[in-house]
A and B are shown apart, each in its own frame.
Chain A
Amino acid sequence: MVNLLPTPIEIFAGALLIGIGTVLLAYIRAQRTIRILAAKLEAAQEQQREDERELTQRSALDSLKDEFVSTVSHELRTPLTSIRGALGLLSSGVLGNVDAKAQNLLRIALTNTDRLVRLINDILDLERMDSGRSVLQISRCSLPELIHQATDTMRSMADAADIQLTVAKNASIVLPSVFFDGDSDRILQVLTNLLSNAIKFSPGGSTVTIEVETPPEALIFRICDQGRGIPEDQLETIFERFKQVEYSDSRHRGGTGLGLAICRSIVQQHGGHIWAQRNPVQGVSICVRLPRLQRTYDAPVNPDSLEDKSHDNASDVLQGLGEQRPFLTDRANVLHQS
């Protein structure tokens, strides 16, 4: 009779084989998992390197663009400074009188030079804001103070156009307590831009009114004019670049066509909203809603970045220039000698 039962050795060998098989299988699985993980790690590392390359390239591009904007700004302003200065001196008469026709031509040249300066300022301003590289300097701001500054700035323009600037009575009541976190220079820019627009498009003898509301967690101010108004279908498009109600507005009213686009960018940067609405009787109101609190504060500017370490000692610079006076320009030499 044959004994079919496994011997203990066979049982042990079988168990051993199964054990080895299991371990081998686990090992193979582990190896496969390791290979998969290694591949994933490789892919992640490659993605990280790619992201870093992109970030470096983007940062380099931003720096180039900043440098370009700064250079263009400087190169455009430098000749304009000479032109603006020369025309201003001639047309003012401080260097002598000019006849009426020449005076008129000087006035035209001066007005258009000023317009060109404003256009350059606005284009550069908008470009920086829209690219997200114009950093807000957030601090605690007083709306009454900003309104006071804006109306002071625009008072002479309003007087010249026979427009009355007023703050609505209800606004006067709430104003003393209206504070918010924002960039005061930028919000002042919004206020003066809107007041300037309202004055430009209002008839003489009318009133431009500033209204203020303070709903919870926000503030709303409105600049209301009694001018010609804005057609219903243009209430949104007027905030786009160079979009004006009349094509000739920029020439006739002296604007650049960018003021409201700049206002919108500033307000949006603050997390706010700007819109236009027709007044029930006459004119239009431009309304701005701003959150009272900003979540982030921007890092301060480091003044050290301007320092040139190559000139730490005045004597380094003065040394070697001798006792001569080559430093004065022709004009100064003449003046000095005289």
Chain B
Amino acid sequence: MRSVLIIDDEDDIREVAALSLEAVAGWSVFTANSGKDGILAATELKPDAILMDVMMPGMDGPTTFKIMQQTQAISHIPVVLLTAKVQGVDQRRFADLGVAAVLFKPFDPLLLSTQIAQALGWTD
């Protein structure tokens, strides 16, 4: 069974995204509500992938991703950014960071797991 760590400061979005991945795809889901907590959770839980918000207080998504890349224990875990910033310039900036994919809010809860799987090349 696949496991995904969701990092988002919005409680409701974490809940909806987690329910979506659990109910639709049957994945195991962990959640964290900040970049710092996300790094610690990823280090301990070693999920198969990380779904992370971009705009978070304290440490934003791109910064968190950069730190994850520098942390050997978790640098191999693919990160998918989930953002409400949909303007072209933002999209290109996020894509240039080197994340596995950039998905946009609002997402379709029935398609979220498919989009993540496609982005990561998961065929199971």
Contacts and interface: CB of A to CB of B under 8 A. Distances in A.
A135 B36 CA distance: 35
A81 B93 contact: no
Q: What's the dominant secondary structure at chain A's contact region?
A: helix
B40 interface: yes
A137 B5 CA distance: 34
A51 B11 CA distance: 48
Interface in A252-308: 301, 303, 305-308
Given A301-B93, A303-B97, A70 B85 contact: yes
Given A95-B19, A332-B30, A336-B30, A325 B40 contact: yes
Given A77-B84, A308-B63, A314-B67, A335 B30 contact: yes
Contact of B110 (A77, A79, A81, A94): A94
Contacts of B44: 325
Interface in A99-118: 113, 117
Given A335-B28, A335-B30, A327 B40 contact: yes
A20 interface: no
Given A78-B10, A327-B41, A336-B45, A317 B67 contact: yes
B20 A328 contact: no
Given A74-B85, A89-B16, A301-B92, A308 B24 contact: no
A272 B120 CA distance: 39
Contacts of A135: 88-89
A318 interface: yes
Contacts of B90: 70
Interface in B59-93: 59-60, 62-63, 66-68, 70-71, 84-90, 92-93
A84 B34 CA distance: 23
Nearest to B41: A327
Given A328-B31, A336-B30, A308 B62 contact: yes
Interface string A164-185: 0000000000000000000001
Interface residues of B, number: 58
A73 B96 contact: no
Interface string A79-99: 111111110110010110000
B57 to A, nearest CB: 13
B121 interface: no
Contacts, number: 159
A11 B11 CA distance: 105
Given A73-B84, A332-B41, A335-B28, A88 B108 contact: yes
Interface string A302-333: 01011110011110011001000111110110
Contact of B20 (A89, A128, A306, A311): A89
A57 interface: no
B12 A73 contact: no
Interface string A183-222: 0010000000000000000000000000000000000000
A47 interface: no
B66 A307 contact: yes
Contacts of A56: none
Given A311-B59, A318-B40, A329 B32 contact: yes
23 contacts: A70-B85, A74-B84, A80-B106, A82-B10, A82-B12, A85-B106, A85-B107, A86-B12, A89-B110, A92-B110, A94-B23, A95-B23, A301-B92, A308-B63, A311-B59, A313-B70, A317-B67, A327-B37, A327-B39, A328-B32, A329-B31, A329-B33, A332-B5
Given A327-B41, A329-B32, 11 more contacts: A69-B87, A78-B10, A86-B16, A88-B20, A94-B23, A137-B88, A301-B93, A311-B67, A317-B36, A326-B37, A331-B14
